[in-house]
A and B are shown apart, each in its own frame.
Chain A
Amino acid sequence: MQYSEISYFVKQGSYYLQGYLVLQGSENMSIRSQLLKGILDGCVLAVIEKETVYGYELSTKLQVAGLNDVSEGTIYPVLLRLQKNGYIVGEMRPSDSGPNRKYYSITTEGLQALREIQQEWVTVSVPITKLLGE
């Protein structure tokens, strides 16, 4: 067995162990993922508002912005949800280098939702920063 395969299986094992230990519900979910759960939709919308992107690009931009722990697995459920709600639309574009990519752009409803989220974020983040700060 090659090293990469061994390390893969060891990592798989540890993830399965973690998964087994995680209780249903959010008690054992990492604090960061709990915090991000609510606001990640907003972050994704904000990135898409600035630029039409595809999945991999989106995760890179989030990582560059500093959210490097946001595993790329989390963005696909978010993208699906945002499409379901009509906040973004996906368009398949054939690319020259081969793979077809689905590019996402924000809709009018999405923009509206984003504005609301931005307002809500300002409203709560100020008092929270104060509360947690001292």
Chain B
Amino acid sequence: MNVQQLVKLNNERKKMLSKPNLKYYEDLLVYIRLANRKDEQAKEEVLMEMLEHLIEAEQNGVEADAVFGKTPKQLADEIIESLPKEKKLSGIYFMAETLVLMLGVYIASTGIFNIILKQDFELHTGNVLATFGVIIIGFLVLLKILIGGIRKASFKNKKAPWLIPSIAMTIYIFSVSAFTVFVPGFGKSFTVTPLMMTVVGVVLLVVYGVMKLIRK
């Protein structure tokens, strides 16, 4: 079974747990899923195994913390240590996929807005390259922050674990936008019609779709 199938099955089977056991298991699950740079397939397989183990133990009348004998975090730390490392390609691939999506949305929407405004674009090669640079570097920085921040934040803030990632994302998009608007033109200039822009954006979105399909 691949990762997506395992996650789906996990969501189904989790329903078999009693409330306290479910709470234990879900803490464990979030910790393990957030482990950085560990093989996703292995994570989901061991999560599935431990879920079934817990279900069976529950049927025999044992409670989660008695089964595992330690806090979810302690157990998760031990499991994470033994997990095999992420396959090199998949980490980069995942980041690239997200980047394509973001660029696609940005370019397509800019194009569409300018079709509405009936404006042509005057672009400068210098700016375009610099903007791409900013977007990509900013994205990598953002990822680093998110990956580091999510783990801690999610556990301190159960009610709104999305808060810090959302703020980080907003700052990122805001800064990229500001850069695009305020930095004066440099480099050779060329004109781009908004239609061309929209097409480029849509093409990127198609690429994103293909990347997602390949992953399945």
Contacts and interface: CB of A to CB of B under 8 A. Distances in A.
Contacts of A72: 53, 57, 67-69
A127 interface: no
Interface in A28-87: 54-56, 59, 71-74, 76-78, 80-81, 84
10 contacts: A4-B63, A8-B65, A15-B70, A15-B71, A19-B74, A55-B50, A72-B53, A80-B79, A84-B82, A100-B1
User: Nearest 4 A-B pairs (CB), nearest first?
Assistant: A71-B69, A73-B68, A80-B82, A8-B20
Interface in B65-85: 65-71, 73-75, 78-79, 81-84
Interface residues of A, number: 29
A101 B52 contact: yes
A100 B48 contact: yes
Interface in A99-129: 99-102
- The main secondary structure of chain B at its interface with chain A is helix
B163 interface: no
Contact of A56 (B1, B53, B65, B73): B53
Given A72-B53, A99-B55, A80 B68 contact: no
A9 B65 CA distance: 10
Interface of A: 4-5, 8-9, 11-12, 15-16, 19, 54-56, 59, 71-74, 76-78, 80-81, 84, 90, 92, 99-102
Interface in B109-166: none
Interface in B13-40: 13, 18-20, 23-24
